Amino acid sequence: MRSIALPATAVTGALLPQNLERLRRPLALAVIQKGRVATQMPGFADKLPDEALRAVADYIYSPPPKLPEWGMAEIEGSRVVHNDAAQLPARPVFKADPLNIFVVVETGDHHVTILDGDRFERLARFPSRFALHGGPKFSPDGRFVYFASRDGWVSKYDIWNLKMIAEVRAGINTRNLAASSDGRFIMVGNYLPHTLVALNAHDLRPIRVLAVKDDKGRTSRVSAVYDARPRKSFVAALKDIKEVWELTYDEHAPPVYQGLVHDFRLGEGVPVKGPFPPRRIVLDDYLDDFFFIPDYSALVGAARDGVKGQVVNLNVRRRIATVDLPGLPHLGSGISWSYQGRTVLATPNLREAVVSVIDLKDWKIIRQIPTLGPGFFMRSHEKTPYAWVDAFNSKHRDTMQLIDKRTLEVAHRITPEPGKTAAHVEFSRDGRYALVSIWDMDGALVVYDSRTLKEVKRIPMKRPSGKYNVHNKITLSAGTSH
Ligand code: DHE
């Protein structure tokens, strides 16, 4: 038995037995000893004696007397309204192009910068919640941006007025959020508790808390939730049960899309009622992350410990193919482009020094492009021939590689600051500039001319983890994450 404090500032998932079902004890011990690749978990073998490491492993598998609760009442009780967006002018207070704004998340000191994407000058810098993670999401017109922090806070910011609108704590450990394409809803996927939380996008009022359970009552963390614009639905992959859920927000969808209220049972046979009824797709394996194919009829997902990726068709509601994906593909960072008349998906790999290129017609790997090291993020733009990828998890982490989308070969290498991690690229609206992060407290955004590959400007920043261009995001540019 043990007692637990609410992990208000936890940066990873809560280490509770419920969240460790996919990790066997010997492996957990190995993680405590050696750390875990592509996470913030370091190894402790050189810091603690063996028996202490074993005691930590035993501790995390012992159930707490009471699980922390975070339901409708707690969520509503946490809500803070800073400004009423309806009372603020519906036009930008600045002269810069509102569609060429970059939102930059600086995790070094937990701030966000709003950057003019033509002049590369700051329009605002404000404190964020602790440890923002995942891409912020935008309202359809690009006026509002929504952030999620690892400890559950969702914030809505008005870019046009440079003001925070509202904040709410939707979970204790949150994975990510999605914004509906009609601008009405936010869906939050949590690790703790095992819930999906629907919020009103206007004022972040909670609408519904969905317990994430299979028909045997087994609960699950949410791996990731994304908006599927043409389907007017949210799609969530689950971490501990082999299912994908689709939650429609289309009132006009035929009943089959409305979650089959009658075929889904919560626990002891209680039918799910209310908005966002989940339409379940049962799979053979877990999905830790996924990528939609361009028309959103299917997704390509993979389990962290799996050897095959799964292609799941959302219409026929089953796996239709598998993909040989070695290592640990980071599908959430996948991008697509047209190569020799076919659409391909390319994904970096968190464990192997390779970018995998998959033909979306027959799901075959057409190229494993060798890279300098395992990478985290990949980006391109319709107007550039290159896809930029980092070597984040390697000794070459200071170097970006530019893959030529026409030849599938690495064509250039760029080292913005020797010895400091370079990662995460985003292009300006017209694709002319590529902005690269130097991941350091004493870091920067480095702006490159995407044609000449010459540096144009360097803006000092505190570990700018990611940057997001309003236009590229709201138009679902094929070169960026959605
Ligand atoms: Fe992320 C996005 C999962 C560790 C920085 N990361 C995402 C998304 C998922 C994910 C599912 C897509 C969500 C979205 O955009 O809505 N990340 C995971 C993991 O499973 C992993 C490996 C382990 C974990 O700790 O959860 C992980 N991620 C990290 C980090 O250690 C990074 C490098 C530093 C940090 O801030 O935590 C990190 N992840 C990011 C960033 C994005 C992201 C910057 C947004 C990418 C984008 O361009 O959209």
Which is the closest atom of ligand 1 to the Cα of 12?
Answer: 25
What was the pLDDT predicted at 218?
92
pLDDT of 246 > 50? The answer is: yes
Q: Whose CA is nearest to atom 19 of ligand 1?
A: 39
Average pLDDT over residues 289-303: 91
Give the mean pLDDT of the chain. 90
Sort 15 into a burial class: Cβ within 10 Å, 0-12 / 13-18 / 19+: middle
CA atoms of 31 and 83, how far apart (whole Å): 44
pLDDT band at 398 (very low <50, low <70, confident <90, very high): very high
Q: Which of 133, 188, 436 to mutate to test the pocket of ligand 1 (most atoms within 8 A of CB)?
A: 133
Distance (Å) from CA 466 to ligand 1 centroid: 10
Distance (Å) from CA 50 to ligand 1 centroid: 31
Q: Which helix (H) or strand (E) holds 56?
A: helix 50-60
Determine contact, residues 467/102, Cβ cutoff 8 Å: yes
Segment 305-360, tens digit of pLDDT: 777 889 999 999 999 999 988 788 888 889 999 999 999 999 999 999 999 999 99
DSSP characters over 200-269: ETTT--EEEEEE-B-TT--B--EEEEEEEGGGTEEEEEESSSSEEEEEE--TTS-GGGTT-GGG-EETTT
What was the pLDDT predicted at 4?
35
pLDDT band at 283 (very low <50, low <70, confident <90, very high): very high
Backbone phi and psi for residue 146, each to the nearest 5 degrees, phi listed first: -115, 130
Q: Which residue has the higher pLDDT, 448 or 39?
A: 448
CB atoms within 10 A of CB 394: 15
376 lines ligand 1 (CB under 6 A): yes
Which is the closest atom of ligand 1 to the Cα of 178?
Answer: 16
Average pLDDT over residues 265-286: 68
pLDDT of 161 > 90? The answer is: yes
pLDDT of 396 > 50? The answer is: yes
What was the pLDDT predicted at 12?
52
Distance (Å) from CA 288 to ligand 1 centroid: 12
465 lines ligand 1 (CB under 6 A): yes
Instruction: Name the pTM for this structure.
Output: 0.90
Segment 181-230, tens digit of pLDDT: 999 999 999 999 999 999 999 999 999 999 999 988 899 999 999 999 99
Side by side, the strands of the sheet bearing 243-248 are: 222-228, 233-238, 243-248, 278-282
- SS3 for 386? strand
- Give CA 257 to chain center in angstroms: 25
Segment 27-48, tens digit of pLDDT: 889 889 998 877 778 899 999 9
Distance (Å) from CA 130 to ligand 1 centroid: 15
Nearest Cα to Cα of residue 170 among 127, 220, 218, 222? 222
Nearest Cα to Cα of residue 481 among 290, 352, 201, 306? 290
pLDDT band at 273 (very low <50, low <70, confident <90, very high): low
Q: Whose CA is nearest to atom 21 of ligand 1?
A: 39
pLDDT of 255 > 70? The answer is: no
